[in-house]
Amino acid sequence: MAYIDLHTHSVYSEGALSCRELLGAASKYGIKVLSLTDHNVIDGVPEITRLAEEHKIKIIPGVEIYTRHQNKGFHLLGYNFKPGKTVLADSLIVLQADHQQKVRQTVAELIKQGFIINAESLFSGPSRYLGVVHLIKELEKNPANLKKMEVELPPAENNYFGKVYHYFGYGQPAYLPQSELPTAEAIDIIKKSGGLAVLAHPGQQLTFEEDPIIGDLIKNQLDGLEVLSPYHNWRQVEHYQKMALDNNLIITGGSDYHTDVDISKKELIKKQWDYFKVPYEIYKNLNRNLN
């Protein structure tokens, strides 16, 4: 069987795998079409496109942009945009610079709290958009930081998500906000760069009663909905598929792969691709729009 995945991440943003490793893993699961959609970053697209020939995997250039509309955060997927210098590429450079400044402020606050951080090591990695995952990994490199967290966190919360909420959650001194664009502006930027704009996992951000928000984005030239997502239950899949068909929108799907699931070290299912598969038929439908 052939499958696709139109929502994946690499070390260029907050993913754990290099482009080569991501392709190798995808190939083992029969994925024939893949889009690298790093957060606010397209630097990995040329590399993964070049390497994909070895695995006979079709690459669709992609990106996932953090956006905001009506005071709600939305993730907007951009597909098949033009390479090189475009308004999209220029806008992402601005977002990356803004976010790096926010990361530096967060690092300064962590040091103020008594943590030991090697900033040079943190900023010299492959990621062009550092996230909380990078900060936690950097903290965990130092035994003194581990001891500090053992003292400050209850045993049940001394895990990845516990650290996220305790140190980086909204309202905390080291809170790390995302760098965002207005959603309508991001749609326009993607389309002016020759791409298609698709709303990622709408069911994660919206209830069915908030469908008019999607209707508003459709008026702003939204091209599609990510209907098949591990964030959606079957009722949501049906709902957003019907919405897409009723509004002549593209239907896409992807795993939002960042890394294997191994939080407690006891997980029986560690890869999204073991339980979540997007059928090749979705690509056939999308391809008509790409062409």
Q: Where do we find the tokens 């040091």?
A: 111
C-alpha 203/C-alpha 225 separation (Å) is: 10
Q: Provide the 8-state DSSP code for 53.
A: G
Q: Where are the domains of the chain?
A: 100-168
Position 66, amino acid:
Y
* Closest C-alpha among 255, 230, 256, 258 to residue 17: 258
C-alpha 173/C-alpha 23 separation (Å) is: 38
* Closest C-alpha among 182, 169, 208, 218 to residue 67: 182
Structure token digits, residue 176: 């790390």
pLDDT beyond 90 at 264: no
H or E element in which residue 182 lies: strand 181-182
Per-residue pLDDT tens over the stretch 38-47: 999 999 999 9
Per-residue pLDDT tens over the stretch 214-232: 999 999 999 999 999 999 9
C-alpha 262/C-alpha 269 separation (Å) is: 9
Structure token digits, residue 272: 């999204």
Q: Where do we find the tokens 């698709």?
A: 198
Per-residue pLDDT tens over the stretch 49-106: 999 999 999 999 999 999 999 999 999 999 999 999 999 999 999 999 999 999 999 9
Neighbours of 280 (CB within 10 A): 15
Structure token digits, residue 261: 């699931």
Neighbours of 24 (CB within 10 A): 14
Structure token digits, residue 57: 């995997």
C-alpha 126/C-alpha 192 separation (Å) is: 28
* Closest C-alpha among 29, 37, 21, 9 to residue 277: 29
Position 131, amino acid:
G
For 141-145, which contacts have Cβ atoms below 8 Å and span 24 or more sequence positions? 142/115, 142/116, 142/117, 144/116, 145/115, 145/116
Per-residue pLDDT tens over the stretch 171-193: 999 999 999 999 999 999 999 99
What confidence score (pLDDT) does residue 263 get? 66
